[in-house]
Structures are given as C-alpha cells and as structure tokens.
Amino acid sequence: MRTSVSVASSYPQATDPRQAVTHLLERVEVAEDAGFDGLYLGDHHATTTPYLQNVPMLARSLAVWGARPVGALFLLPLWPPVLMAEQVATLASMTRGRFVLQCAVGGGERQFAAMGVPLRRRARLFEDHLDVVRRLLVGEASAAPGGGGSNDATISPTAPEPVEVWIGAHTPPAIDRAARLGDAWYAAPRHPVAELEGLMAVYREACARHGTRPRCAPVRRDVHVAADDAEARRVRESVRRSGHRGFDPSSVIVGVHDEVVAAFDELASLGFDEVVCRQLAPDQPDALASLQRLGEVRWAATQLTPTPWQGGGA
C-alpha cells in the first residue's frame, strides 16, 4: 500500500496570500522529508476564499520534491485543452519522476459560469478535452473540440514519458467513464467504506465490460493522525460539529497511529493500493504534526497487501 499526499490549496486562516503560500510549501517540505510516495494538488476556480492555483504552486514545489510521482487535478471542462496540455507537458518536463494527470468533470454553477463553460455540457466536454490533451501530450496533431481553433494544433515540449490519467468519479455512469477512458479510477473522499465497496464492484465490472485493466487503484481520504486518544476525540468532534464538507463523518480517517493503519488496511482489503491523504486540521501546526505522524503510518502501510485485482494485479 502506497501513501501519498494531496496538499491543501486553500488556507482561510492565513492572514495574507504570502502566508498561504508559505503554509503550502511547509507541508510539501514535511512530505518530502517523510518520503511519501506521491505529491498532488487540487483545482478550483472563481473562489470566494483564497485558493492557490495548482500549476504555479506545483512548479514551485518541485524545487524541493524528489524523484517520486507528482501530479495535479484538472477540472477538464474548464480548461482549453491546448493550454492545459502545454501546462501539463511543461510540469512533466520539470519532474524527475512520473507525472499523474488527475481529472474530473467538476461542478458548481458559479464556477462554470465564471469560466464561460455551460455546466450541462461538462460530461461531453470532459471526454472531448481528454482526447485532445492525450493526443497533444504524445506529439500528435489534434483538432480543437467543437470545431474551434486550429485543425492541426501541436505543442512543444511534449511529455517526456507517458502521463498517467486518473479519473475522479463518484457515480456509476462516471465510474464507467473512468473504466473506459482512464488508467485508474480515483475514488472520491466523500464515500464511507461501505459505499466504496459497492463502487469498487461497479468499477471492476465496468473494466471487465470494456476490456481494460487499471494501472493502480488510488483513493482520496481526509486524514488526521493524532498524538493521543484525547486529540483524536477532539478532532472527531470538530468534524462532527462542522459537517466537514458535507461528508459522512465515517468517511474521514481520524485516530492514533494504529487506528489509521487499520483504516488503511480496510481500504487495502477492497483492492485500493494507494491512499492519497489531505490533512483535516485547519491550523498549520496541527496539520504539520499530523503530516509528520502520517509519515510513520506510511512505513507501516507499506506492509499492507491490497486484495488482488480480478484477472490480475491492480
């Protein structure tokens, strides 16, 4: 079982934007020191609270990150595909390891309206844009979707090695799309384990139907590794009171070292082989301490063996 980090991009408690940047980079440095298996950033636009954008922040983070995988989430319908392919190829050229393109259809009427994209077309735009981006990244010429732009667009540089595509999805039709088009289904953090079990069955069936086999099986979780039982109780109560992002409280992982390892083991039993963790604690000192303890959990998680993929390993 691999353990990676999705570093938060929003820091509402920071007193100014430069402090938010400092907080993000501090988390990257702790993640690098702890030897996590991957580093990822999210994507959101037209926000009402400060949100650091993924391309410049990931580029800056690569100054301290090693040769392990890196990547970023892109809400594909919101990005012009040529621009996005250029950004991804440049980031991939800066890395010493594998680049992971995490992508999803996105949502939110306000966000789509601000970017001038009709929300009702997001599924079709996702597929069209992914096709164009993939072609451009390997050096093929590609027409812009919808007939706009050049019919023979190319980019340079292209990605120095194949970019891995994880598709985020949390409904059966979207999971089917991930099985059909992606290298992996990127399971969302909102689902309790009981729901993940059913969704993993949907994904396995869809892969069998489309004749595809994933390269990996990642799942996102919001995590806090507590120093002791009292801290764990305090954080659980905070999650319950705040209604954390509208999630079922059982979908987050809060506990001391052994409890977090047990939660990872439960995910491994479903067939997931990578847990991408975002820190729950809003306060920077708490988040950094949890991240350091998560590094200790990572070493224990390397001994966990995911359930083999049907018809072969994931």
* Distance in angstroms (rounded) separating the CA atoms of residues 154 and 244: 43
Determine contact, residues 165/98, Cβ cutoff 8 Å.
no
pLDDT band per the 50, 70, 90 thresholds, residue 25? very high
Tell me which residue has tokens 């047990």: 262
pLDDT of residue 287: 95
Predicted confidence (pLDDT) at residue 90 exceeds the cutoff of 80? yes
pLDDT of residue 241: 84
Determine contact, residues 5/40, Cβ cutoff 8 Å.
yes
Domains along the chain with CATH numbers = 2-301 (3.20.20.30)
Predicted confidence (pLDDT) at residue 112 exceeds the cutoff of 70? yes
DSSP three-state, residue 257: helix
Predicted confidence (pLDDT) at residue 149 exceeds the cutoff of 60? no
Question: Mean per-residue pLDDT for 87-98?
Answer: 95
Question: Mean per-residue pLDDT for 282-302?
Answer: 95
CA angle in degrees (0–180, nearest 5) for 2-134-39: 25
Share of the chain above pLDDT 90, in %: 84
pLDDT band per the 50, 70, 90 thresholds, residue 150? low
pLDDT of residue 312: 37
Question: Mean per-residue pLDDT for 73-92?
Answer: 97
Task: Name residues whose C-beta falls within 8 Å of residue 161's C-beta, 6 or more positions apart in sequence.
Answer: 92, 98, 99
Determine contact, residues 213/311, Cβ cutoff 8 Å.
yes
The structure tokens listed for 23 are 């907080």
pLDDT of residue 245: 76
* Distance in angstroms (rounded) separating the CA atoms of residues 192 and 157: 41
Q: Dump pLDDT digits (tens) for 174-232.
A: 999 999 999 999 999 999 999 999 999 999 999 999 999 999 999 999 999 999 999 99
What's the whole-model pTM score?
A: 0.94
Q: Dump pLDDT digits (tens) for 32-53.
A: 999 999 999 999 999 988 899 9
The structure tokens listed for 85 are 């392919």
pLDDT band per the 50, 70, 90 thresholds, residue 309? confident
Predicted confidence (pLDDT) at residue 126 exceeds the cutoff of 60? yes
Determine contact, residues 26/18, Cβ cutoff 8 Å.
no
Determine contact, residues 49/91, Cβ cutoff 8 Å.
no
* Distance in angstroms (rounded) separating the CA atoms of residues 312 and 314: 7
pLDDT band per the 50, 70, 90 thresholds, residue 272? very high
* Distance in angstroms (rounded) separating the CA atoms of residues 202 and 113: 32
Return the axis-axis angle of helices 257-269 and 193-210, rounded to nearest 10°: 30
The structure tokens listed for 180 are 């059909």
Average the pLDDT over each of 79-83, 123-127, 152-156, 289-293 and give the range with the smallest value.
152-156
Average the pLDDT over each of 14-18, 61-65, 68-72, 91-95 and give the range with the smallest value.
14-18
Query: To the nearest 10°, the Cα dihedral for 92, 63, 166, 247?
Result: -160
Predicted confidence (pLDDT) at residue 155 exceeds the cutoff of 90? yes
pLDDT of residue 151: 66
* Distance in angstroms (rounded) separating the CA atoms of residues 101 and 289: 28
Share of the chain above pLDDT 70, in %: 96
The structure tokens listed for 129 are 């844009």
pLDDT of residue 311: 39
Predicted confidence (pLDDT) at residue 22 exceeds the cutoff of 80? yes
pLDDT of residue 313: 39
pLDDT of residue 12: 87
Count other Cβ atoms within 10 Å, centred on residue 266. 15
pLDDT of residue 215: 94
